[in-house]
Structure 1
Amino acid sequence: MRAWTVCDPKAGTLTQSLGVARQFDPEPHRVLLKGWLPKWRRGLFSPYRRLPEPQPDLIVSCGSIAPRHVLAIAERCRKRPFLVHLQPADEETSKRYDLIFAGRHDMRAIENPPSNYHAMLGAPHQLSAEALEELRPAARARWAPAGGPVVTVLVGGPTKAYAYDEPTIAGLIAAIRAFAGEGRTVLVSPSRRTPPELRDWLLSARSDKIAVWDQAGENPYREFVAAADAFLITKDSVTMPSEAATTGRPVFVFDLAKTQSDKLDEFEWFHRDLSETLGLTRQFEGRIYDYAYEAPDESRRIAGIIREKMRLD
């Protein structure tokens, strides 16, 4: 089966699309979008008049600007591809997709969702428990050669919902140093959203027990996740706790300074759902401890629903 992904180049949307599409095609064709597709760009003016071969059997899209591009691609295909979108869409667009997957935190605001809607847990992604376990021995040999417990700290950046004020940063640095003081190896991974000043604060904490990626060279993110015995993750991300939970290891969420907005309500609901309803995460209150949960594999689960629907059709 030939799968395409259609999304903007942001890491969050791209990893969702690829995580699902790679369940069908190990190397999906990527259509990376630079902006909205104007309505007049149809027919002879369409950027998709000539599609690369082989044409898609399945298109997985994500992000608000993607649907118009997807529909323009689909109308140029010799055989209509199966269309999947990983985000809520407006009513008219929803009718033209075969399946739409929306986060549980988004579904709560949709009254009487159409039959092609399905809830998803957090965000699908490209990590799998099997691949991480295979990588784990080499990752621990590289980053924790002395052995002992490893805590991986995943750091995002300011958003419309959360801010990194000085007390927040100081608390995060103190937690990192406390883990090292307890004899743990600490692996700290800033993200693309981490501003330089926050990255520099994190780099200042480096020691023989604390490794911080300086955002230069190859990103060791997968190795950091594979090596972890537990996680501390800042609250500004949906994808990072979703990826960490794939391991089945303890995931603690670090609170941030709040910025009043609609996004804050969404994120707070999302984290309450992960912790209180699903039991996947815990609020960080100064210590790391073990607890058990059934690790989700959302990309594989979503792919199963797609396969079932394609067979029914």
Structure 2
Amino acid sequence: MRPIQLPEPPSPTGRKGTPDIFESGVHTFVRRAVVIGNGFPASENQSIGLVRALGFSDKHLLYRVTRPRGGINEWLQWLPVSLHIKIKYIVTMISGYSPLLLRSQQKKFMPLPSENGTSAGLSTVLEADVKQIVNLARETYEKEGPLLVVASGRDTISTASSIKRLASDNVFVVQILHPRLSLNRFDMVITPKHDYYPLTPQGQKQVPQFLRSWITPRDPPDSHVVLTMGALHQIDFTSIRSAAAMWHDEFAHVPRPLLVVNIGGPTRNCQYGIDLAKQLAANVHNVLDSCGSVRISFSQRTPQKVSNIIVKELGNNPKVHIWDGQESNLHMGHLAWADAFVVTADSVSMISEACSTGKPVYVVGAECCRWKFTEFHQSLREQGVVRPFTGSEDISESWSYPPLNDTADAAKRVHEALAVREDIIYFIDTVNRKHRCYSCNFFHKTDFEMEGPLLVVASGRDTISTASSIKRLASDNVFVVQILHPRLSLNRFDMVITPKHDYYPLTPQGQKQVPQFLRSWITPRDPPDSHVVLTMGALHQIDFTSIRSAAAMWHDEFAHVPRPLLVVNIGGPTRNCQYGIDLAKQLAANVHNVLDSCGSVRISFSQRTPQKVSNIIVKELGNNPKVHIWDGQESNLHMGHLAWADAFVVTADSVSMISEACSTGKPVYVVGAECCRWKFTEFHQSLREQGVVRPFTGSEDISESWSYPPLNDTADAAKRVHEALAVRGWKVKN
């Protein structure tokens, strides 16, 4: 039998010593990007946010399409930018235009857009020239690989589509916001769902019959289109964490809760004036008693009359600080340190950024919006992401929702599209934020007779297209294992390893939760076949050997800790397991109730734990001498906890954390299972029925232990892989 041996991947930086099998695919690296902007910060922020999420924050060039401004040009903004420039040139040749030209020069021109509060600088911006960008893509393709082109806004459409037409083999063109023309002129279009409002029954009612053929988009989204809830931006966990550190001295001692009010300005589809300003000022005044402090900032679009009213009504209140536009831009500090937001309804970008934090967001003025923007606000309200700002809120009472993650989701879709294009396999190293891609020829040219077949293991939705492409193109040379149900034909993989609760839609309970007309769309639709290995929970790296090693490694840390040791692992709310401060208070109370039966308690949070949840735990338990709360700064104690704990309490949201705890055979208590829905109710019910976990009620005696057969899903799955390989005449070489 032939052995399977995993080869080392090629170095993406150095060609020296690179095996020949990688040479044919080396030109398929995507190493750099071009951003085409239109001079408007909100638009360019979307492109830069996507590029940053793709890992090209320091490897992109910014080009800008410049439309003439001032004078008669303000009446020509509706024209395509290329035609506008030609007309402007002709008009300037006419002597009668001179007075208009002089008057236009006296107008206040729009300042150069800023990025994260600092000027982009003219030296960093190039005039968008189609020929120059096309030549750049063609001439550097062999050395640098294909060029990623990201454009946003109406004025960039002709430039981006021309680049795609002239250099289609050398570029991947992404257009942000619907271009209102044939989508095949781009490789991908990323646009908010509300851009398709004209196709809804409500949208159709607002358009006369004879005009409907002129309203775009006219067709439902196709495979080119990625739909988002809001706008793309540069805000993510990393940027928020950096901002929290950067603005620590400014905000750490600000009285809590901190309410941040972001005020935009009226637009064509969201018109308001002094009446809304007075209403907003009154509502902020009404909630001041529940606020520690309030920070208010205006945008460049805020009318003077609106800002004057806000300053007049609130400027003298000692709790209120109004940004005057002269000091450093506090926007990132506000996002990081705020406890809640109030945002005017006109700005999709400001609302999207606030909603990416997971903190309460209140919107004022949504009733002033019309057309597709009513759809945007309605969708956010229906999903519990925002609430209207009425002035009756208690800002000290928090609430939560799964944060909007549109930019990261869009970046994943770009990865997937690159993975299937021209049989290029695109790999993402999410740990080191490096990007690797190999030609599928790699899987053919590997010395099969010398090295044996290649074992390919993929996990998660974003890897499905990559793994299935490898299977399709090199089926005789690989064995492809997909972890988690891929929601498509299972014969695209050699094996699928997935939890039993992934088949919840086929149970009587699952069927009752799905309307009859939708059942044919819910996957999986068929019972598991021979391709499928079912597990109880998630796979992980915890086994007897790793626990024994961790026990030795963390001996000095835990050997003298008073027993029994209760470890509490706290995750964060998800789409199918939503909770907030109420569960945090319940958990803190329950832990307090069992302290008498504990020698010590260790508490740790995950990256998904909301700040308001961790704040409550720290407030309620942080001063107890029996309790130690991991602050995220010291060494990660997770393996030490698994090895030395006598019992665990785990929040119900994380299948992975529960699975790891249950692999130890020690008592595991789960809190918040009642907050879960859909297939995750099945997961928790199965564990309880098998005696693997118990609910955490606060009445437990932690000193009284109980046991069960430890979950051993990873080893069981590995055994099934060995068996499947043996059928093909292969085995794993360690």
Determine if the TM-score, normalized by the shorter chain, exceeds 0.5: yes
State the 1:169 CA deviation: 1.2
CA 1:140–1:252: 2 relative to 1, 3 Å: farther
Per-residue Cα deviation, 1:206-246 (whole angstroms, up to 9, x for no partner): 24321111122432111112111001111111111110011
Per-residue Cα deviation, 1:64-100 (whole angstroms, up to 9, x for no partner): 12121123345666962101111112343x1121111
**In 1, Cα distance between equivalents of 2:712 and 2:657:** 14
**In 1, Cα distance between equivalents of 2:494 and 2:664:** 31
- Kept in 1, the 8 Å contact 2:482–2:495? The answer is yes
CA 1:43–1:86: 2 relative to 1, 3 Å: closer
- Kept in 1, the 8 Å contact 2:472–2:492? The answer is no
Aligned length, in residue pairs: 279
- Kept in 2, the 8 Å contact 1:151–1:228? The answer is yes
Which of 416, 434, 443 is equivalent to 1:37? Answer: 416
**In 1, Cα distance between equivalents of 2:694 and 2:673:** 15
CA 1:222–1:251: 2 relative to 1, 3 Å: same
**In 2, Cα distance between equivalents of 1:45 and 1:256:** 39
Q: Give the aligned residue type for 1:37.
A: E
**In 1, Cα distance between equivalents of 2:540 and 2:530:** 24
CA 1:138–1:87: 2 relative to 1, 3 Å: closer
- Could you say which residue in structure 1 is the equivalent of 2:460? 63
**In 2, Cα distance between equivalents of 1:62 and 1:250:** 29
Which runs of structure 2 are paired with 1:202-221 in the superposition (5 Å)? 202-204=617-619, 205-206=621-622, 207-221=624-638
- Could you say which residue in structure 1 is the equivalent of 2:692? 280
**In 1, Cα distance between equivalents of 2:533 and 2:636:** 33
State the 1:132 CA deviation: 1.1
- Kept in 2, the 8 Å contact 1:63–1:86? The answer is yes
- Could you say which residue in structure 1 is the equivalent of 2:497? 101
- Kept in 2, the 8 Å contact 1:48–1:72? The answer is no
Q: Give the aligned residue type for 2:438.
A: Y
State the 1:123 CA deviation: 0.4
1:236 and 2:633 matched? no
TM-score, with structure 2 as normaliser? 0.35
CA 1:71–1:165: 2 relative to 1, 3 Å: closer
Which runs of structure 2 are paired with 1:45-84 in the superposition (5 Å)? 47-49=437-439, 51=442, 57-74=454-471, 80-84=477-481
CA 1:269–1:43: 2 relative to 1, 3 Å: closer
**In 2, Cα distance between equivalents of 1:78 and 1:101:** 19
CA 1:161–1:40: 2 relative to 1, 3 Å: closer
1:174 and 2:589 matched? yes
**In 1, Cα distance between equivalents of 2:577 and 2:425:** 42
SS of equivalent residue, structure 1 residue 249? coil
- Could you say which residue in structure 2 is the equivalent of 1:19? none
Per-residue Cα deviation, 1:152-208 (whole angstroms, up to 9, x for no partner): 101110112333333311111122233334342111111121122222223332243
State the 1:60 CA deviation: 1.0
**In 2, Cα distance between equivalents of 1:186 and 1:213:** 11
Which runs of structure 2 are paired with 1:1-313 in the superposition (5 Å)? 1-3=4-6, 34-35=412-413, 36-38=415-417, 41-43=421-423, 47-49=437-439, 51=442, 57-74=454-471, 80-92=477-489, 94-108=490-504, 109=506, 110=524, 111-136=526-551, 139=554, 141-143=556-558, 145-204=560-619, 205-206=621-622, 207-255=624-672, 258=675, 264-276=677-689, 278-286=690-698, 287=700, 288=702, 289-313=704-728
- Could you say which residue in structure 2 is the equivalent of 1:12? none
Q: Give the aligned residue type for 1:283.
A: P
State the 1:312 CA deviation: 0.6
State the 1:265 CA deviation: 2.1
- Could you say which residue in structure 2 is the equivalent of 1:25? none
Q: Give the aligned residue type for 2:534.
A: A
State the 1:270 CA deviation: 0.7
Of residues 216-225 and 243-252 in structure 1, the stretch that sits farther from structure 2 once superposed is 216-225
Q: Give the aligned residue type for 1:203.
A: V
**In 2, Cα distance between equivalents of 1:44 and 1:274:** 41
**In 1, Cα distance between equivalents of 2:605 and 2:468:** 36
Q: Which runs of 5+ in 1 are unaligned?
A: 5-32
**In 1, Cα distance between equivalents of 2:539 and 2:494:** 18
The structure showing larger relative contact order (alpha-carbon pairs under 8 Å, at least 6 residues apart) is 1
SS of equivalent residue, structure 2 residue 678? helix
**In 1, Cα distance between equivalents of 2:636 and 2:491:** 40
**In 1, Cα distance between equivalents of 2:425 and 2:563:** 61
- Kept in 2, the 8 Å contact 1:156–1:237? The answer is yes
CA 1:225–1:45: 2 relative to 1, 3 Å: closer
Q: Which runs of 5+ in 2 are unaligned?
A: 8-410, 427-436, 507-523, 729-734
